[in-house]
Chains A and B, each alone.
Chain A
């Protein structure tokens, strides 16, 4: 990858890869059932959709911006759902809809994602776009054996980083990376930083510094 492509991946993309690796290590395979990606139009989400689809998983993409459904399908999503289905306080256990999930949203969304995960499945937690709280019960864990896998990218050890970047080279389609990223100048950093917090950015933002 070029320096620019590495920044199209960035912490968000490398966090997506760490999440996929965590699911693999838990024994999740494409034949077991679909994988949900929340915040699918975001940085972690768009890269996760791309990687999972390339690896042969059936990907369900959840987003608040369903107008970008075509974009998500180009990245490899099989279906797109409205995040409103997941963002309100839900029941302790719901219908089993996916085998695994990559969640960058937290709060009620993550609680609902876990409550609708199939028996023996796993969910990674790697973000807090809705909130840092997690209002759930132990029911999905003790009745369905669901696992919640924590993902940290900031202090991840060197070996884990090397593994993630090697797998990104192998399992992230560079055409999709191009499709999901935009490049901005130094003087647009503050504007784009505001946009990303307001949920107005699709995919990844590269900054040309020099």
Chain B
């Protein structure tokens, strides 16, 4: 998959916009593990981020979504290998790091 869809929120002054965009892997933020996202979820916090009713997003533009479940595509980290089923909750993803509402996500391994 050369390009994939993502939900992006951006800010123009005080106005917040949401649009569906096509991204490539090069557009994702740096990280150790690239994941094919299969499922995500909508938490109250995701609602605050998308509607702009709460100060959740702290970097713009952002791909929101604080939770995902999917399969590892590529990994530079010894703990994860391609094909692994993974779940992520939080860690600032969807707030300061591109998040779950995209068909692919690249994240850093912590801890």
Contact = CB atoms under 8 A, between A and B. Distances in A.
A209 B39 contact: yes
Contacts of A11: 41, 43, 45, 66-67, 89-90
B46 A196 contact: yes
A186 B89 contact: no
Given A190-B18, A209-B103, A196 B42 contact: yes
B87 A207 contact: no
Contacts, number: 124
A151 interface: no
Size band of the interface chain B makes with A:
35 or more
Interface string B54-84: 1000000000011111100000000000000
A199 to B, nearest CB: 10
Interface stretch (A70-78, A93-101, A156-164): A156-164
Contacts of B87: 3, 6-7, 165
B39 A190 contact: no
Interface residues of A, number: 43
A11 B55 CA distance: 17
Nearest to B19: A190
B100 interface: yes
Interface string B21-55: 00000000000000011111111111111110110
Contacts of B92: 154-155
Contact of A154 (B7, B54, B91): B91
A189 interface: yes
B90 A189 contact: no
A153 B42 CA distance: 15
Contact of B85 (A3, A43, A157): A3
Interface in B82-104: 85, 87, 89-92, 95, 100-103
Interface of B: 5, 7, 18, 20, 36-51, 53-54, 65-70, 85, 87, 89-92, 95, 100-103, 110-111
Given A7-B41, A11-B45, A210-B37, 6 more contacts: A3-B70, A8-B41, A161-B89, A207-B65, A208-B38, A208-B39
13 contacts: A10-B41, A43-B44, A44-B44, A154-B66, A154-B92, A158-B110, A187-B20, A189-B42, A190-B50, A194-B51, A207-B39, A207-B41, A209-B100
Q: Which 9 A-B pairs give the minimum distances between C-beta atoms?
A: A3-B69, A193-B50, A10-B41, A196-B47, A154-B90, A197-B47, A158-B111, A7-B39, A205-B42
